Structure 1
Amino acid sequence: MHKQPTNGENYYDYICIIDFEATCEEGNQPEFTHEIIEFPIVLLNTRTLEIEDTFQRYVKPEINPRLSEFCINLTGISQALVDKADDFPKVLQHAIEWMEQKELGSKYSYSILTDGSWDMSKFLNIQCRVNRLRYPSFAKKWINIRKAYGNFYKMPRSQTKLSSMLENLGMDYDGRPHSGLDDSKNIARIAIRMLQDGCELRVNERLHGGLLLSVSSSTPIEGAPAPQMPKLR
C-alpha cells in the first residue's frame, strides 16, 4: 500500500538518502561486475530538516570476494570488513526491517534520494540479478539530486558532482569521501539546503522493465510503498 504524502510543502514526510559503495577495479573494466559492499541509509525528516537516524551495513561480495587495492583505497572498506559481513539478501532484509521500524510507507510517506542514477538503475539492479532477486518495488522511483540541483539552481551538469554541489553552496565535505555513509550524510546536507531554499524535491527518475526513465514534474505525487523483501526471480 502506498502512503500518500500529507505534507503539502515538502511532499514527503521523510527522504531516505542512499549512496551505495561497490566493488571496483582501476580503469573501469567494462566486463567487471560491480557488487554492493556498503548499504547506507540516511533518514531525513522533511519537517524538522534534520537527520533523524542512519543505517549502515557492509556486504560480502560473491563474484569477486577479494577487493582490489584500488577499491580498498577508494572506499576505505577493508577486506576484513566484507569477509565478516552478511551477503546482500540478508543485508537488504535488515534494511527493509529498519525502514519498517520507522513506519515508512505505512504511517509516513517517503521517497528514496540518490546522487545520480547509478545507485538504483545500475548497482541495485545488477545486485538483484546476481542474487536472483526481483527488483524491490520501494526502489523503483527516486529523486536524483543531481538533476534536481541542476534544474533548481540553473547549473550545468558539470557542476552537479557531489564536491561541486557542496562547494557551490559554500560547504566543505564532512567525513571521508567514498564512504557510503559519509557520502549519504553530505548529500543530505545538500537536500536540506535545497529544501530551505524552496526547492520541491520530487521523484524525477524511475526504473521500468530494467530501463531508466525520467519522471515529469507534473506527475501526481505518490510516496514509495512500504518496503517488502522481494521474491526470488
Structure 2
Amino acid sequence: MATWRITLLRCALLSSPPPPFFQSSSFSTPIQRSQLKRSLVKCSSLSKGEPTSSTRIQSEIPKGGRISSWKPMCLYHTQGKCTKMDDPLHLEKFSHSCSVELGGTVPGLKNSRAQKFDYFLVLDLEGKVEILEFPVLLFDAKTMDVVDVFHRFVRPTRMTEKRINEYIEGKYGRFGVDRVWHDTAIKFEDVIEQFESWLRKERDGHIRLWREDGDGHLNEAAFVTCGNWDLKTKIPQQCEVAGMKLPPYFMEWSNLKDIYLNFYNRRAPGMLSMMRELGIPQLGSHHLGIDDSKNIARVLQRLLTDGALVQITAKRSPGSPHIVRFLFQNRIK
C-alpha cells in the first residue's frame, strides 16, 4: 500500500484483515436485445459463508412491462459468498450474472453522441444513520453495457447490536434480505479497501479506473448518482465515522436529476418519476440499493440513447473539500 494512501485514507490500522475482495469477472455469451448486446458478467464465488436455510434473498418481481428473462439476483453471489453454485434449483431461481438487463425500452442508437467519459460508475447508497449498502455498477459509455458490479453490505460501527438488528429488520426485512445482510456485511473501511482493489483491476486491456498515484482521481470515469446526497453528504459523514479522510475519487460526480432537467427541460424529483415519464418499467425493489442502481442505469442508458451529454454537475473544492460547487445553473435543489 502506497504511503500517500495510508496518510490519506487511514487514521488507524484495521483491527483485522479484510475478507477477499471481488475478483475479476468473466463473460458469457451476449444476449441480443433491441440492437444492443448485453454482456453477461459473472461474479466470483469466493467463500463458504452461505447458510443452508431457505432464506428469501430475492428482489420483488417487476409488475407490468416485465422483462421475460428477469430473475432475482442472488445477493450472496454479489458478495462473493454463494455456496450453491452446484444446486440446479438455486441456479434456476436466482440470477448469478452481474450484468444488468437494460434492453426492452431503448429506441435505438441513432441519436447517441460521444461522451467525455468512457465509463460511468452508477452509485446508489442505502442507510440514513450509517451506510448499509454500497452498490456500484460499471457502465460502458460506448457499448451502453453494464460490464461489472461491485456490491457490499456495510456494518455500522457506532450502533449497538440491538439497534443494528432493529435497523436491519426494518430496512431489509421487508425485502427478505436481512439474513444475507447479517451474513455478509463488513465495516465501511473494509468496503473501501475492496472497492479500491476493484477500481484498480485491468479490464480487457483497458486502463484501470483508478490509480493511487497522481491526484488520485478516476481515469476517464465519473460517478453518476440520482441526487447529490450520496457523495455530497453521506460518504463524507461515513468517512468521518470511520476515521478516514475523504478519498480523492469522491470529489466530483454527475447528478442524473440535473442532466435530466437540462436535457428534457422538465423536472423529475426522483428515480421513479424519471422512469414513469420515460416509460421504463421498474425492476426489483425500491430502496434495495442494488436494484435502485440497476434502474438508475436504465435511466442513464435512455438519456444517452436520446442524445444527452452526461457531464460533471458538482465538484468539491480541492483546498476545502467541505465546499461543493454546483456547475449547472438549472438544477434540482
Q: Identify the TM-score tier after normalising by the shorter chain.
A: 0.7 to 0.9
Higher RCO (C-alpha under 8 Å, 6+ residues apart): 1
CA 76–124 in structure 1, closer or farther in 2 if over 3 Å, else same: farther
Amino acid across the alignment from 2:241: V
Match of 2:118 among 13, 16, 23: 13
Matches of residues 38-187 of structure 1 in structure 2 within 5 Å? 38-64=133-159, 65=161, 66=164, 67-68=166-167, 69-73=169-173, 77-78=177-178, 81-82=181-182, 84-102=184-202, 103-105=208-210, 109-156=220-267, 159-187=268-296
Residue of structure 2 in register with 1:225 after alignment: none
Match of 2:130 among 17, 26, 35: 35
The TM-score with structure 2 as length reference comes to: 0.56
Q: What is the deviation of 1:79?
A: 6.1
Give the unaligned 5+ runs of structure 2.
1-112, 203-207, 212-217
Provide the rounded CA distance (Å) in 2 between the counterparts of 1:216 and 1:161.
18
Q: What is the deviation of 1:72?
A: 3.0
Residue of structure 2 in register with 1:213 after alignment: 325
Provide the rounded CA distance (Å) in 2 between the counterparts of 1:104 and 1:80.
29
Provide the rounded CA distance (Å) in 2 between the counterparts of 1:140 and 1:165.
26
CA contact (8 A) 1:115 1:162 kept: yes
Query: More displaced, 170-179 or 58-67?
Result: 58-67
Q: What is the deviation of 1:80?
A: 5.9
Provide the rounded CA distance (Å) in 1 between the counterparts of 2:137 and 2:181.
21
Helix, strand or coil at the partner of 2:132: strand
Q: What is the deviation of 1:39?
A: 0.8
Amino acid across the alignment from 1:20: L
Taking every aligned residue pair, what percent have the same amino acid on both sides? 29
Q: What is the deviation of 1:75?
A: 6.6
Q: What is the deviation of 1:108?
A: 5.1
Provide the rounded CA distance (Å) in 1 between the counterparts of 2:263 and 2:150.
29
Amino acid across the alignment from 1:116: G
Question: Who wins on radius of gyration, i.e. which is larger?
Answer: 2
Helix, strand or coil at the partner of 1:56: strand
Helix, strand or coil at the partner of 2:115: coil
Q: What is the deviation of 1:73?
A: 4.5
Q: What is the deviation of 1:105?
A: 3.7
Helix, strand or coil at the partner of 2:200: helix
Amino acid across the alignment from 2:311: R
Amino acid across the alignment from 2:181: L
The TM-score with structure 1 as length reference comes to: 0.78
The answer as to 2:298 corresponding to 1:189 is yes
CA 75–200 in structure 1, closer or farther in 2 if over 3 Å, else same: farther
Provide the rounded CA distance (Å) in 2 between the counterparts of 1:154 and 1:52.
30
CA RMSD of aligned residues (A): 2.1
Q: What is the deviation of 1:160?
A: 3.1
